[in-house]
């Protein structure tokens, strides 16, 4: 079976490479043209994460690197090269994407929407009719902050918290339309926020919550603060919009990959199968504010609305406005379909304050 993967050098993609090589003899890596050498980045990830030496030594033989550009027609390939690639594949995993919550919507669409369109064109062109595994996000549920988001839901009426959510919603709509038009099955996997307790390393993709360290550095500069122990009574108060009983789903990336590959091993239903790949325990908003307090000598107070006259520290804390609304979320992602197929979640990892702090550079 010939399997291809986009986004192989990203935070999720590198873990998928390892998992897919455990199941298949070879893997075609569809790497962004002009980026750092994909084989070298994958090899270094394997070395840093303790992969077996035998696997590392086999990477040049087992990986086929094809340079593409998701933003261009035919992935930036010539017609002949595009056709040859399409005709070789049995499965396409589409993991590549722009995950910058606050990026310009047009930029996000170029990668997340048009890139998905190009991958679907590749799947449509292949004589083997490859099965597409599309990695979406649970946050296509949009700006609904309470209640339950079900796996079969794909509705934009609630609006979106940021441009990233909108672009991923539009990409998934495209997937559903393509499947209906071509009469083809597609597997859509919607992970929540992926995290790890692996210590930060400049040679690895940044943690999705790494933006917190930017806030830390800016806060220290703007407030004249110094890291380290500061008495509680001397810590300045930072007001942030959020709900004291809010919660957010954070999932260890390694467990996400395990669930995704197990789902992929099951025969598709013949339509679009959508799965929420989420943790069975949400993380309380107060854990996230405690994480900030551990990184910066401040006291975080959650308030109903963003302060109208924010202080310098409060303005700095809102440097990443696309994330701030999640501090008010109290919704839950239903994963009944995954539980029915795979049984109860078995990651054995509870994402808590110590887990999150281990994986984020304090700045």
- pLDDT, tens digit, for every residue of 124-143? 999 999 999 999 999 999 99
Average of per-residue pLDDT across 267-284: 95
H or E stretch covering 277 = strand 272-277
Phi, psi of 323 (to 5 degrees): -95, -30
pLDDT of residue 35: 58
The residues near 83 (Cβ < 8 Å, ≥ 6 apart) are 125
Structure tokens given for 169: 């919603």
| Poorest-pLDDT segment among 47-51, 118-122, 173-177, 214-218 | 214-218
Q: What is the mean pLDDT of the chain?
A: 92
Assess whether pLDDT exceeds 70 at residue 17.
yes
Assess whether pLDDT exceeds 60 at residue 208.
yes
Q: Does the pTM exceed 0.75?
A: yes
pLDDT of residue 215: 72
- pLDDT, tens digit, for every residue of 298-321? 888 999 988 888 887 778 777 678
Residues composing the chain: 363
The whole-angstrom separation of Cα 354 and Cα 358 is 6
Structure tokens given for 184: 């083809």
Assess whether pLDDT exceeds 90 at residue 223.
no
43 and 30 Cβ atoms separated by less than 8 Å:
no
The whole-angstrom separation of Cα 256 and Cα 263 is 11
Assess whether pLDDT exceeds 60 at residue 36.
no
327 by DSSP, 3-state: which? helix
The whole-angstrom separation of Cα 196 and Cα 48 is 14
Q: What is the DSSP letter of 207?
A: P
Q: In three state form, how does the secondary structure of 150-172 look?
A: CCCCCCCCCCCCCHHHHHHHHHH
Assess whether pLDDT exceeds 60 at residue 72.
yes
The residues near 117 (Cβ < 8 Å, ≥ 6 apart) are 174
pLDDT of residue 297: 82
- The structural domains of the chain, ordered by start, are 3-196+249-278+332-342 (3.40.50.720), 211-246+283-330+351-359 (no CATH)
pLDDT category of residue 360 using cuts at 50, 70 and 90: confident
pLDDT category of residue 330 using cuts at 50, 70 and 90: very high
Share of the chain above pLDDT 90, in %: 77
Average of per-residue pLDDT across 83-96: 98
pLDDT category of residue 83 using cuts at 50, 70 and 90: very high
Average of per-residue pLDDT across 352-356: 95
pLDDT category of residue 229 using cuts at 50, 70 and 90: low
Q: Quickly list H helices, the chain.
A: 11-21, 38-48, 53-62, 79-88, 105-108, 114-125, 163-182, 211-223, 253-264, 285-295, 312-317, 336-342, 353-359
pLDDT of residue 206: 87
The whole-angstrom separation of Cα 73 and Cα 79 is 10
Give the dihedral sign, CA 68/91/278/50: negative
Average of per-residue pLDDT across 252-281: 96
Average of per-residue pLDDT across 106-132: 97
Distances (CA, A) of 217 to 205, 212, 295, 296: 19, 9, 10, 9
- pLDDT, tens digit, for every residue of 139-169? 999 999 999 999 999 999 999 999 999 999 9
CB-CB neighbours of 186 under 10 Å: 23
């Amino acid at each position: 079976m010939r399997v291809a993967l986009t986004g192989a050098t990203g935070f999720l993609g590198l873990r998928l490479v390892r998992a897919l090589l455990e199941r298949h003899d070879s893997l075609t890596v569809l790497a962004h043209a002009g980026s750092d050498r994909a084989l070298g980045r994958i090899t270094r990830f394997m070395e840093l994460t303790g992969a077996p030496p035998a696997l590392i030594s086999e990477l040049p033989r087992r990986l086929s690197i094809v340079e593409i550009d998701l933003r261009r027609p035919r992935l930036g390939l010539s017609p002949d090269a595009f056709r040859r690639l399409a005709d070789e594949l049995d499965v396409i995993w589409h993991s590549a994407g722009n995950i910058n919550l606050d990026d310009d919507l047009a930029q996000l669409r170029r990668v997340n929407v048009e890139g998905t369109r190009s991958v679907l064109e590749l799947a449509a062109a292949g004589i083997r009719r490859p099965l597409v595994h599309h990695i979406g996000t649970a946050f296509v549920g949009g700006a609904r902050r309470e209640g339950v988001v079900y796996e079969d839901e794909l509705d934009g009426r609630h609006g979106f918290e940021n441009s990233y959510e909108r672009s991923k919603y539009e990409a998934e709509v495209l997937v559903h339309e393509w499947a209906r038009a071509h009469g083809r099955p597609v597997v859509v996997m919607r992970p929540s926020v992926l995290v790890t307790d692996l210590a930060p390393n400049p040679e690895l993709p940044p943690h999705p919550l790494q933006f917190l360290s930017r806030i830390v550095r800016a806060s220290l500069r703007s407030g004249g603060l110094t890291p380290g122990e500061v008495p509680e009574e001397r810590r300045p108060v930072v007001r942030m919009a959020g709900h004291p009983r809010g919660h957010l789903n954070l999932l260890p990336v390694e467990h996400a990959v395990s669930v995704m590959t197990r789902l992929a091993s099951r025969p598709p239903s013949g339509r679009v199968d959508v799965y929420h790949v989420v943790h069975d325990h949400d993380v309380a908003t107060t854990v996230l504010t405690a994480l900030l307090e551990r990184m910066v000598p401040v006291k975080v107070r959650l308030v109903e609305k963003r302060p109208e006259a924010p202080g310098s520290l409060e303005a700095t804390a809102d440097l990443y406005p696309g994330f701030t609304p999640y501090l008010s979320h109290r919704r839950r992602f239903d994963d009944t379909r995954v539980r029915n197929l795979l049984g109860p979640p078995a990651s054995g990892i509870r994402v808590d304050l110590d887990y999150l702090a281990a994986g984020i550079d304090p700045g």
